[in-house]
Amino acid sequence: MYLGTLYVSLTFIVPVTKSLMESYFATSVSFNLDTIYLNWNTSFPAITVCELYNSEKIWDTSDALFGIEHDFHIDDFVGEIAFFRGSCTSCEICQRVQCPDNFTQLLDVFRSKCHELIVECQYLNQIFDCCDQFLPILTEYGVCYTFNSVQARKVAQVQFKNNRMTGAGNLKFLATADIQVNVHPPIDVPFLFSEGMIRETVLLGNNKELILNVIEVYNHESVEELNHEQRRCRYSHEYDEHRIGIYEFYSFSGCIVECTVTLQLLYCNCTSHFMAVPSKNSLPMCDVQGLICLTDIHDRLFAERKSCDCMSSCEEPEYNIIYNSADDKQDSEKDFSDIHVALVELPTQRYVRRVSKTFLDLLISFGGLISLFFNLSALRVVEAIFMALEYRKEVLKWINRIFIGTLKYLKILIKLK
């Protein structure tokens, strides 16, 4: 009867077990809204400043470097090298014109240094040396300068946090050239074709004010015990087999950049001079022919980088624009741009990522399933073992009788045949 019941129950046990496993892996993590905000530390965003292409500066610097009588096609080439955006259409002219081949030197000459680009910095109305906090970082836009970046500081903890003691953070600085201001989580880096990252172009002489709000994501301690497939995100310190070491910590944007570099190495055996920096890494740098190769596969790279196996980071706050000032063109003759980035207020709510189903929950569910279909429990298993040991003589005697009786019955059947 027991075996018959077990056979009939199998049609129910299999789908129920499958459903339990799918539920465990699919909904292991839940998000809850937390409003007990008195003792929170809120991360101020990372502010990354990247210099933009300026044709007048390119012309003037080219005249000083190559002489007034130089071939003006070189200006186009130098401009694309110094402000490389994934393709180099002017590299073709190097087949008939002698092009400079020391890209590192060109970047050193044509790109502004930190102290030339960013001046008069204040955080929470406290003046500081800009280049002490705006640190260089490798990006797909070249070397940019970033404030409050975990990747640039190579330290896992965010430096500038806001709480009830400090108040809402605000940063002010002046820029002396056309720049692109990127506002993003401290763990991230700016990258080409990014969606959702705050990115503002500020031309020289214009002012820009950005007022933001922030929604933090707090991870409960038990979340880290799950594997990344279950929680569907990665911590910054977790190993990723696709990383090639350009950035210190894992982030979604860093993963996309490194995946793109891997594709460039696959198709062209080199990567751009923005990513291959001898003092930072040992990646092979593309020469002119390598840049032509990157240009030929530009559209293919753009399509394939969308399929890169990159998970979101578990530690990414969300920043949203509350106020964005219009471009101020009345004072465009000024020699600097005034940039102000601030949080509108300290947040009063945040999301908490928790483990909704642990391995213990799965074990309890399986225990209930076994008890339901087999009328089995740990106590019954122990009881069965104890009974078998207590009455082992009688059990062996009955087994022996059944075995001998079966043999005698079979002999009788054979004789009758």
* Span 234-273, pLDDT tens digits: 999 887 777 788 999 999 999 999 999 999 999 999 999 9
| 8 A C-beta contact, residue 310 and residue 256 | yes
Per-residue model confidence (pLDDT) at position 175:
96
Q: Does 216 share its domain with 144? A: yes
Last residue of a domain, one of 307, 332, 355: 355
Residues 404 and 362 in one domain: yes
Q: 369 and 254, same structural domain?
A: no
| Residues 386 and 245 reside in one and the same domain | no
Q: Are residues 261 and 168 in the same domain?
A: yes
More confidently predicted of 194 and 60:
60
Assess whether pLDDT exceeds 70 at residue 332: no
**Residues 244 and 388 reside in one and the same domain:** no
Strand pairing of 170-175 and 118-123? antiparallel
Answer yes or no: do 36 and 70 share one domain.
yes
What pLDDT does 363 receive?
72
When mean pLDDT is compared across 150-159, 210-219, 234-243, the lowest value belongs to: 234-243
For strand 318-324 and strand 208-215, is the pairing parallel, antiparallel, or unpaired? antiparallel
60 and 148 inside one domain: yes
Highest mean pLDDT among 5-14, 145-154, 226-235: 145-154
pLDDT in tens, 343-378: 999 888 888 888 877 666 667 777 777 776 666 667
Is the model more confident about 225 or about 325?
A: 325
- With a cut of 80, say whether residue 388 has pLDDT above it: no
Instruction: Identify the domain boundary among 331, 355, 379.
Output: 355
Q: Give 41's pLDDT tier (boundaries 50, 70, 90).
A: confident
Helical spans, DSSP H, in 67-102: 73-82
Number of folded domains that form the chain: 2
Domain coverage including residue 234: 31-355
* Total count of residues recorded for the chain: 417
Q: What is the pLDDT of residue 29?
A: 79
Which pairing describes strands 337-343 and 208-215: parallel, antiparallel, or unpaired?
parallel
242 and 153 within one domain: yes
Residues 224 and 293 in one domain: yes
Q: What is the mean pLDDT of residues 99-104?
A: 90
Q: What is the pLDDT of residues 82-95, one digit of tens each?
A: 999 999 999 998 88
Question: Do 385 and 293 belong together in one domain?
Answer: no
The pLDDT of residue 331 is above 60: no
Question: Do residue 120 and residue 259 come from a single domain?
Answer: yes
pLDDT of residue 240: 74
The Cα angle at residue 223 between residues 217 and 227, in degrees rounded to 5: 120
Q: 3-state secondary structure string, 130-167? A: HHHHEEEEEECCEEEEEECCHHHHCCCCCCCEECCCCC
Task: Say if residue 381's pLDDT is above 80.
Answer: no
Q: What is the chain's mean pLDDT, rounded?
A: 86
Among residues 264, 242, 266, which one has the least CA distance to residue 254? 242
Token output for 295: 């240009």
Asked if the model's pLDDT at residue 330 lies above 70, the reply is: no
The pLDDT-based confidence of 222 (bands split at 50, 70, 90) is confident
Of 355, 386, 401, the residue that ends a domain is: 355
Query: How is residue 224 annotated by DSSP?
Result: G
Q: Give pLDDT, residue 4.
A: 73
**pLDDT tens for each residue of 285-302:** 999 999 999 999 999 999
Please state the pTM of the whole predicted model. 0.81
pLDDT of residue 73: 85
Which helix (H) or strand (E) is 139 found in, with range?
A: strand 134-139
Q: Report the pLDDT value the prediction gives residue 26, as an integer from 0 to 100.
A: 64
pLDDT at 132 over 90: yes
Confidence of residue 397 (pLDDT cuts 50, 70, 90): confident
If 0-12 CB within 10 Å is exposed, 13-18 middle and 19+ buried, where does residue 210 land?
Answer: buried
Give 232's pLDDT tier (boundaries 50, 70, 90): confident
